[in-house]
Amino acid sequence: MLILFILSLFLFVLDQEDYDALARQSTAIEEVARPLLDEARHWLAGQKGKPQAKAKKVSSAVKVLVQPVRLTANDRVFEAVGTGRARLSLQVYPTVAEEVTKVLFQAQDRVSQGDLLIQLDDREEVLAVRRAEIQLKNARSLLSRYEKAVKEGAVPESEVDTVRADFEAAKVALDQAKLALEDRRIKAPFSGVVGIPKVDPGQRVTTATVITSLDDRKILHVDFEVPEALAGALREAQAENRNITATTPAYPGRTFVATISAQESRVNADRRTVLARASIENEEDLLRPGMSFTTRWTISGKRYPTIPEISLQWG
């Protein structure tokens, strides 16, 4: 190809009448072109067997993100609905039938154990206590005189015993009078929060009349049922004092921490469930007895090696 190119170049430059001169000078041209031809042959011989063009090497390796295999527990979440109840809760009733003279509390008041809530008419009881105190004083004085007289031999021992018995009876009578007076004062049996008063001054109440409610809600209990199959896991959770969570519609989006504090001693044969109790610390006093709660309890499962799902390729 190179030889033809060189000859064509000569033919293009020279005119037709120069062909004779070119023929005469062929020997000189051959001597000049021979080194070029040899070089061209040598170059062509070296190109045989080689590709026409080398493709740029491109790495075929796929870039990946490396992440270690982790051990993950196959946990389950158990949910149950329960009702909250105060740690201590009761309805307050009067112990005697009488007329109300004073109501000494309002709804949502915090009271301490022994605080007076309701005062009933106690005029007769006050008089009875005073009478019993006078009788006891007289009996004590009489007994003192008889004890001196018996030492002097003025009275027999049997009379002293009778006077001593009267003195003891006077003491009992005073205690009874004080107890009757105390029954007219309805007090808080424990510290807590009272509800709405159900009686008014001047109203006559009986032992069946509800005065108010009283709750110690520093701790709220939530009772819920657990399937029989989870009784073993429930026992372990209680023994290890594991935390569970509880939510209530009263505070959407808020979760309260609870612990499993108790469980029933037997399985309900009809429902095949165990009654469990979770306890919630109600330090902010947000929760109320009677609220509905959804408890969520995570049950620990076996541990398995896991990798991200996106790293798996199918096909």
CATH number of 106's domain = 1.10.287.470
Same domain, 145 and 289: no
Same domain, 180 and 128: yes
Q: How confident is the model over 40-61, as a mean pLDDT?
A: 58
Same domain, 163 and 232: no
Instruction: Tell me, yes or no, whether 18 lies in a domain.
Output: yes
CATH number at residue 277: 2.40.30.170
Same domain, 111 and 187: yes
Which residue has better confidence, 298 or 94? 94
pTM: 0.65
Q: Which of 205, 228, 249 is the last residue of a domain?
A: 205
Supply the pLDDT for residue 77. Answer: 85
Single-letter amino acid code for the residue at 118: I
Same domain, 36 and 95: no
Same domain, 172 and 279: no
Instruction: Tell me, yes or no, whether 55 lies in a domain.
Output: no
Lowest-confidence segment of 37-41, 210-214, 244-248, 305-309 by average pLDDT: 37-41
Q: Which of 144, 178, 205 is the last residue of a domain?
A: 205
| Mean model confidence pLDDT for the chain | 83
Token digits of residue 154: 């003025």
Same domain, 201 and 247: no
Report the distance separating Cα 274 and Cα 269, nearest Å: 9
Q: What angle do CA 195, 198, 199 make, to 5 degrees?
A: 135
pLDDT band at 14 (very low <50, low <70, confident <90, very high): very low
Supply the pLDDT for residue 245. Answer: 92
| Predicted confidence (pLDDT) at residue 17 exceeds the cutoff of 80 | no
| Predicted confidence (pLDDT) at residue 74 exceeds the cutoff of 50 | yes
Same domain, 113 and 80: no
pLDDT band at 57 (very low <50, low <70, confident <90, very high): low
Same domain, 232 and 166: no
Total domains, the chain: 3
What is the share, in percent, of the chain residues with pLDDT greater than 90? 55
Q: Which of 159, 181, 205 is the last residue of a domain?
A: 205
Token digits of residue 268: 């309900």
Same domain, 196 and 104: yes
Tell me the pLDDT tens digit for each residue of 98-148.
Answer: 999 999 999 999 999 999 999 999 999 999 999 999 999 999 999 998 888
Supply the pLDDT for residue 251. Answer: 94
Instruction: Tell me, yes or no, whether 54 lies in a domain.
Output: no
Q: Which residues are registered as beta bridge partners of 187?
A: 116
Instruction: Tell me, yes or no, whether 184 lies in a domain.
Output: yes
Instruction: Tell me, yes or no, whether 211 lies in a domain.
Output: no
pLDDT band at 2 (very low <50, low <70, confident <90, very high): very low
Of the candidates 269, 264, 261, 281, the one whose C-alpha atom is nearest the C-alpha of residue 225 is 264
Instruction: Tell me, yes or no, whether 81 lies in a domain.
Output: yes
Instruction: Tell me, yes or no, whether 313 lies in a domain.
Output: no
Domain that holds residue 112: 89-205
Same domain, 201 and 253: no
Report the distance separating Cα 122 and Cα 208, nearest Å: 19
Instruction: Tell me, yes or no, whether 152 lies in a domain.
Output: yes
Supply the pLDDT for residue 78. Answer: 87
Which residue has better confidence, 152 or 42? 152
CB atoms within 10 A of CB 283: 8
pLDDT band at 12 (very low <50, low <70, confident <90, very high): very low
Of the candidates 95, 136, 138, the one whose C-alpha atom is nearest the C-alpha of residue 118 is 95
- Are the beta carbons of 95 and 310 closer than 8 angstroms? no
User: Following CA atoms 144, 149, 151, 154 in sequence, which dihedral angle do they give, to the nearest 10 degrees?
Assistant: -160
Supply the pLDDT for residue 121. Answer: 96
Q: What angle do CA 204, 210, 214 make, to 5 degrees?
A: 135
Q: How confident is the model over 239-248, as a mean pLDDT?
A: 87
3-state secondary structure at position 24: helix
Same domain, 81 and 93: no
